[in-house]
Amino acid sequence: MGKKKRNSAKGEIKIALAGNPNCGKTTLFNALTGATAHVGNWTGVTVEKLEGTYRDRKADIKIDIVDLPGIYSLSPYSPEEIISRDYVLSGDADLILNIVDATNLERNLYLTTQLLEIGMPIVVALNMADCLKSNGETIDVKALSERLGVPVVSISALKQSGIKELMQTVKDTYKTQRKAISLISDTLLKDSIERVATLLEDSKERLFDSVKLVEGDKIVSKKYAAFEEQIKAIKEDNQEVKEKYGGNFESCVADCRYRVINEKFSDLITREKEKPKVTPSDKADKVLTHRFWGIPIFLVIMLAIFHITFSSNFLYLSVVIPDGSFADVDPISELFVDTEYEEDEEGNISGANALKSPGVFLQGLVEALADVVNGERVVEEVLDENGEVVLDENGNAVVEVVEEGGWIPQLLANAPDWAYGVVCDGILAGVFGVLSFVPQIMVLFLFLTILEDTGYMARVAFIMDRAFRRIGLSGKSFMPLLMCFGCAVPGIMATRTIENDRERKSTIMLAPFFSCGAKSPIWYAFAAVLASTVGWNEELTVFSVYLVGILVAMLVALLLKKISGQKGVTPFIMELPTYHTPQLKSVSVHIWQKLKHFVFRAGTVIAASTVIIWYLLNFNFTFNMVEESQSILATVGGWFEWLFKPLGFGNWKFIVASVTGLIAKEEVISSIEVLSGSVAEFVTESGVSTAGVFAFMSFNLLTVPCMAAVGAAASELGSRKRTWLAILFWILTSYVVAMVIYLVGEYWWTAFIFAAIIAGIFTASHFIHKKKEAIAVAKAAAVAVAATVDDESVVDEK
């Protein structure tokens, strides 16, 4: 491996953090650099390099730090592990900081033994030393350091102890030369490694390359393809490996490493008491990953989270609170309770007896704020007794203010129409339209982050694996898809943890079907409208949208599996982290990041595009201010109305709202606010039916995601052709599903037709593949027969 020494003149040091997944690399990275990278309690949170800088002015230390995805070994298995290996071997860093989880020393040292084979300075950070103490265990750090031949510093990344000492050690060590050593060079492989090494005179990392060549590492073998025959011969000569491992060098190397670790290091751990056979974590797993109860428990947890976030009838307390209790409460209490009620002819009140859930309460708070700032200013013309408009001496209509309105409308009361329009009906309406949903997004996030931080989500991946396997994916796809509920961009990036290319691409295609945070305002807003028009339960409406996404994803995955005709899914092997109580710091940092992201977007992209939409809605092609029905948007939108008729929302405003969603999904709501003033108005004035509204929601859920997500998908899919195919696929899926929903909603009997079509497709693909298989088998048989015939003829000739 080429090693370019970096310019160290300025005293700059660059180090790489390497270690097993979930051993606390990113926690240490955050502690060192003050960064706020996402930390979670599962394998594969970090899927790309993160860079930051550690500064200690007093000690005059400045160190650039590169955080790498977790790896179990330097023989990578999944795409994100390749990133780590490539970086470690690139020689870009001056030193490798190997983080070792002290609670799991043996397995972590497996990677360390491989890192030692690279001739670079190494410092070992023994992390989670505090956890060790509470387990009644101690590790002899000094002896560990002596036996590894590199400095070892005991730290706690979480409690930020030992950090200064660690960085001082790094500073003292990075300039020293370290000779590569291999702990397995004294085993039965000694001879083979040494003989291979003699071939590689020019190699900069001679020891590392020799061991990897003996092991049969694909990447290194390719590099030295010229020596293939010689290496093969050397390996053939090793009789011992042949006897003990059936000639499998890869197994032999792995086994030797573990053996050496066991011999050399197991006596360094002293335990005061025997470890319990069944830990509290195991006990929790007995329940949470139960073969029957595992999935129902997960669903109940998710439903409870949705309830706390979206329900306007918290804990269903309306059952015990008498009707009308909150009919006339003061404005402050109104934030906490539902004051809406209906009165029948006899004066009986029903309603006004429910508490708002925390999510709905917070949303009300922001809406109240929006009202103060941008409450609508209502002005009416004064009429005389005959119903005629009263005119002043200049012939203008006399007006009176019916409602004062918020601060900004009052401020702009005398401004020209266009200025008032662009600020109040454009920017403020659009931005507040988005902001009012931020609290609910945050509450939902908070719970998902907590679940993730405890380590529960890794278990869910395990219990979901069986179901995912049926549709041609594995439990590995669960985590990325779950992240898509937050945002599709990190979700799509997290697919790097999936080893199999086909599964990875399928997962990327399914990503937008999992409703992201930015889409959720659409569901909440329309759920509220449907609650008031047709009386649908809000949380169930929202939940059903999420369900539509999941169901469509399953159906599509199944279809992709059937069409591709692939058999078997890659094996699911995943480490389950120990449960721990969620860390306030990592949870709050994550939530804060999300909040900043949304507010920033509302203030920039969304504010800017609302101005454009407002302009297009109020002007015509000759740049004159006109009625909205003659505006540019209405005209252009009108051209496409026929296309969306079969979907039940052939209305130009619905089309405009959907299209603006491509910029950012929050745009859908902010556009609606600009187009009609409110979502309720938007629905009623259009005359779109309930089925049409639900079809519109489904269409927006399933269609092409925002530009950011398309960009992420493009870079992960790796080719322009595949990206266009994905876009086409999303458009088609959303169109077809929305149409089915609308048609079945309007004419229920069409359900049978669609069921028949789906069944037809599945049967057809089944038969086609059977036929293909038969052909393949026949071909293979023919080839085999031909081969035997050939062999025989060869024998005959001899």
Partner 1 sequence: MRLIIAPIGKQGKVVKIDTDEKTKNRLQNIGIIEGGNITLMQSNFGDVIVKVRDCRIAMNKDVASKITVEVD
Is the distance from CB of 498 to CB of 475 less than 8 angstroms? no
117 in contact with partner 1 (CB under 8 A): no
Query: At 342, phi and psi to the nearest 5?
Result: -120, 145
- Of 659, 662, 740, nearest to 698 by C-alpha is 740
Smaller CB separation from partner 1, 285 or 453: 285
d(CA 382, CA 378): 13
103 in contact with partner 1 (CB under 8 A): yes
Q: Between helices 666-676 and 679-686, what is the axis angle to 10°?
A: 70
Q: Of the listed pieces 62-70, 186-194, 322-330, 569-577, which binds partner 1 according to CB under 8 A?
A: 569-577
DSSP 327-378: TT--TTGGGTEE--EEE-TT--EEE--EEPPHHHHHHHHHHHHHHHHHPPPE
Using CB under 8 A, pick the residue from 411, 547, 551, 573 that binds partner 1: 573
Smaller CB separation from partner 1, 137 or 338: 137
| Footprint (CB under 8 A) of partner 1, residues 191-230 | none
Q: Of the listed pieces 246-254, 438-446, 545-553, 645-653, which binds partner 1 according to CB under 8 A?
A: 246-254
130 in contact with partner 1 (CB under 8 A): no
> Sign of the C-alpha dihedral, residues 765, 768, 774, 776?
negative
Smaller CB separation from partner 1, 70 or 91: 70
Smaller CB separation from partner 1, 53 or 221: 221
- Of 456, 442, 455, 585, nearest to 524 by C-alpha is 442
Q: Where are the alpha helices (DSSP H) in 605-650?
A: 607-618, 632-639, 641-644
- Of 712, 476, 502, 493, nearest to 49 by C-alpha is 493
Using CB under 8 A, pick the residue from 53, 578, 690, 765 that binds partner 1: 578
Least Cβ distance, residue 466 to partner 1 (angstroms): 6
DSSP 389-417: BPB-TTSPBPEEEEE---HHHHHTTTS-H
Bridge partners (DSSP) listed for residue 269: 139
Burial of 670 (0-12, 13-18, 19+ CB in 10 A): buried
Contacts with partner 1: how many residues (CB under 8 A)? 43
Q: Of the listed pieces 249-257, 425-433, 479-487, 770-778, which binds partner 1 according to CB under 8 A?
A: 249-257
Least Cβ distance, residue 475 to partner 1 (angstroms): 7
* Structure-token match 């947890």, residue found: 301
576 in contact with partner 1 (CB under 8 A): yes
Pairing of strands 399-403, 378-381: antiparallel
133 in contact with partner 1 (CB under 8 A): no
Is the distance from CB of 562 to CB of 765 less than 8 angstroms? yes
Using CB under 8 A, pick the residue from 239, 281, 604, 793 that binds partner 1: 281
Bridge partners (DSSP) listed for residue 235: none
Q: Of the listed pieces 281-289, 333-341, 489-497, 640-648, which binds partner 1 according to CB under 8 A?
A: 281-289
373 in contact with partner 1 (CB under 8 A): no
Smaller CB separation from partner 1, 6 or 107: 107
Interface pattern 459-498 for partner 1 (x via CB under 8 A): x-xxx-xx--x----xx-----------------------
| Footprint (CB under 8 A) of partner 1, residues 155-194 | none
10 in contact with partner 1 (CB under 8 A): no
263 in contact with partner 1 (CB under 8 A): no
Kindly state the helix (H) or strand (E) to which residue 63 belongs, with its residue range.
strand 61-67
242 in contact with partner 1 (CB under 8 A): no
Smaller CB separation from partner 1, 475 or 491: 475
User: Any residues with CB less than 8 A from the CB of 11 and at least 6 apart, and which?
Assistant: 62
Kindly state the helix (H) or strand (E) to which residue 100 belongs, with its residue range.
strand 95-101
d(CA 34, CA 119): 30
For the record, the structure tokens of 577 come out as 């982290």
For the chain, what is the largest distance between any 2 Cα atoms, rounded to a whole number of angstroms?
123
270 in contact with partner 1 (CB under 8 A): no
27 in contact with partner 1 (CB under 8 A): no
d(CA 162, CA 127): 10
Interface pattern 282-301 for partner 1 (x via CB under 8 A): x--xx--xxx--x-------
Smaller CB separation from partner 1, 250 or 340: 250
278 in contact with partner 1 (CB under 8 A): yes
Residues, the chain: 798
Least Cβ distance, residue 255 to partner 1 (angstroms): 6
Smaller CB separation from partner 1, 59 or 573: 573
> Sign of the C-alpha dihedral, residues 70, 71, 74, 76?
negative
Using CB under 8 A, pick the residue from 11, 34, 565, 571 that binds partner 1: 571
Using CB under 8 A, pick the residue from 26, 27, 46, 75 that binds partner 1: 75
Smaller CB separation from partner 1, 468 or 543: 468
Q: Of the listed pieces 169-177, 454-462, 641-649, 765-773, which binds partner 1 according to CB under 8 A?
A: 454-462
What are the residues binding partner 1 (CB under 8 A)? 72-73, 75, 77, 103-104, 106-107, 110, 250-251, 254-255, 258, 275, 277-278, 281-282, 285-286, 289-291, 294, 458-459, 461-463, 465-466, 469, 474-475, 568, 571-576, 578
